[in-house]
A and B are shown apart, each in its own frame.
Chain A
């Protein structure tokens, strides 16, 4: 028997019971390559049959693992092959039909979200990409569980500015369609640069073309655990602090590794990746901003915030990498404003701006995430903001995403309740300076020199 000390046992119990340690998501990735076709009804039937068959045990298996190890598994989710690669149609209504099939399958197996209503258009649009993007507003607003993502940029291809503008149009459309619910539909749409093929987090999960038939990807969490470690060690140097965070990240990641191995074994799926991310929730204490504040910043957004986040992000990755050989997904600290109560509070007080968040995203995951902007934001301002986030990802060879919510009828300073894990946040100001002529140029921003790595 491996000897475990009483302190180690009680530390584990405390992390779970008092510090909100959990596994954020167990996501089953399913290839839909063999469901492909041109007829939406046939494809929809195949998609429903395959997803509901392969994922039928996902929820009960996750529940049994949760009970066995006493570790909460908060979400059970499914990601699928980008639907633009599955349905060969140029009619958006066909794509909406497949979205309904995905939604029905999600409901049948009891998962909360299914990701992959997606297209990859960083270099240009196929006819099916075009139809899928036109279908997004209807697909998102008519379904409960379906999430959509579109990759509009990459380090290798540059930024497809036509796609950026079209995503701005999509968001404004979804904002209007879900105006009665503070435009919540936009929270299920991510615009990506360098989209990962194995991301377990929603709304941006998809099952990439290099993935196996079925895989299990695990999203760890644990901002509350890291926060307490930082809070309990005031005044230690940055070197010591980084070391403490690394040790903690190791332990958190090992839980994900254990859950991933067991879930993949029980479900007969290939073990995919562990996503080394710190993902906050609106619960008090389960916050990235609170970690920064415990480091000595009065509020997230204060001078030093980007440096603090860089330290945190790096230490989490170093500690996590020691704990698993299967890293992937987004792997970094998230800064989703509405989902992190202390980030939202800093934004409401005006000490955290979109511009500061943009700087912070250069050193962490994921981008401008869950940020509420005025409902009357112009198409050009929205597209310009998305393009800025894409540029950071493109130049730094990293994944960035934009999940912006133009809240219909809301103005700067209004408070928007999105509900549940989406949280709540203030409507944040976007620069009033116009970018219409810039955005109207269209075409593609060329790939940077660092794309030539061979």
Chain B
């Protein structure tokens, strides 16, 4: 079954942040479906729509890998199932 999650990353900007997150996602056999990022006043904000097949990776595995990336890059990275955003903002 295909699972769709939303990865958000926030923190001080520097080179290679988007690449670091995308590399970790790819390493977990997950696909980047869409991504947007901005830098404002030196703060990096990224929203990445990611999907994966539950036979190939797990939510917990993706979260653990991105947690390490967060520690290495100084980003606060959150991985949340897309349903929480759908439920909160749409009926």
Binding site for B on A (CB under 8 A): 1-2, 4, 6, 8-10, 12-13, 17, 67-71, 251, 254-255, 257-258, 322
Give Cα distance in the complex from A251 to B45, angstroms: 23
A445 to B42, CA, bound (A): 67
B78 to chain A, nearest CB (A): 5
Pick from B63, B79, B85: contact of A4, CB under 8 Å = B85
CB distance from A29 to the nearest CB of B (A): 23
B89 within 8 A of A: yes
Assuming the A-B contacts A1-B4, A69-B81, A70-B80, are A12 and B88 also in contact, with contact meaning beta carbons closer than 8 angstroms in the complex? yes
Contact A258 B84 (CB under 8 A): yes
Q: Which of B45, B60, B86 contacts A2 (CB 8 A)?
A: B86
Q: Which residue of B lies closest to A8 (CB)?
A: B89
Q: Verify A9–B6 contact, CB threshold 8 A.
A: yes
Task: Please determine whether B83 and A69 come into contact, CB atoms closer than 8 angstroms.
Answer: yes
Chain B 39-91 interface residues, beta-carbon cutoff 8 Å to A: 45, 47, 59-60, 63, 76, 78-91
A68→B81 contact, CB < 8 A = yes
- Nearest chain-B residue to A252 (Cβ)? B88
Q: How many whole Å from A164's CB to the nearest CB in chain B?
A: 43
> Measured between C-beta atoms, what is the minimum distance from B70 to chain A in Å?
13
In the complex, what residue of chain A is closest to B83 when comparing beta carbons? A258
Chain B residues with a Cβ closer than 8 Å to the other chain, count: 25
User: Do the beta carbons of A68 and B59 come within 8 Å of each other?
Assistant: yes
* Other 20 A-B pairs with CB < 8 A, given A4-B90, A12-B88, A17-B78: A2-B82, A4-B6, A4-B82, A4-B85, A4-B89, A6-B47, A8-B85, A8-B89, A9-B47, A10-B47, A13-B80, A68-B81, A69-B81, A69-B84, A70-B78, A70-B84, A71-B84, A255-B87, A255-B88, A258-B88
Residues of B at the A interface (CB closer than 8 Å) are: 4, 6, 8, 10, 36, 45, 47, 59-60, 63, 76, 78-91
Q: Are B85 and A67 in contact (CB under 8 A)?
A: no
Q: Are B81 and A13 in contact (CB-based, < 8 A)?
A: no
Residue of A nearest to B6 (CB): A9
User: Are B80's CB and A69's CB within 8 A?
Assistant: yes
A9 to B87, CA, bound (A): 11
CA distance A96 to B86 in the complex (A): 47
- What CA separation (Å) do A322 and B60 show in the bound complex? 33
Given contacts A4-B86, A6-B47, A258-B83, contact A67 B60 (CB under 8 A): yes
Report which residue of A9, A13, A67 has the largest number of chain B beta carbons within 10 angstroms of its beta carbon. A9
A1 to B59, CA, bound (A): 19
User: Complex: how many Å from CA A352 to CA B85?
Assistant: 39
Question: Which A residues lie within 8 Å of B84 (CB)?
Answer: 12, 69-71, 255, 258
